Amino acid sequence: MDKQERRKNRTKSRVRAKVEWPFRILKRVFGYTKVRYRGIVKNHQWHLAAFALVNLYMNRKRLAPQGA
C-alpha cells in the first residue's frame, strides 16, 4: 500500500470507530440487543430515548459535579 491509501484507510477507521462506539455502549451497558416491532413511531421514540441515555452516559464525567 502506498501512503495515500494508508491515509484513506486510517481516516475511514477513525470515523468508523467514532460512529460505532455509541452502539457498543447501547448494547453492552443498556442491554439492547433486539426490540420487538411495535410500530415505526414507538420504535423511533425508543431509539431516541436510548441514544439520549447513551449521550448522558458518555458525558457523565463532564456532567457530574467535582468531588462527587
Domain assignments of the chain as residue spans, ordered by start: 3-63
Distance between CA atoms of residues 22 and 67, nearest Å: 26
Q: Tell me what pLDDT residue 56 has.
A: 93
Q: Tell me what pLDDT residue 68 has.
A: 57
CA dist 18 to 2, 3, 11, 13, 14, Å?
25, 23, 11, 9, 6
This prediction's pTM: 0.67
Q: Tell me what pLDDT residue 67 has.
A: 67
**pLDDT tens per residue, the chain (68 residues)?**
799 999 999 999 999 998 899 989 988 888 887 777 888 998 889 889 999 999 999 999 888 877 65
Q: Tell me what pLDDT residue 32 has.
A: 81
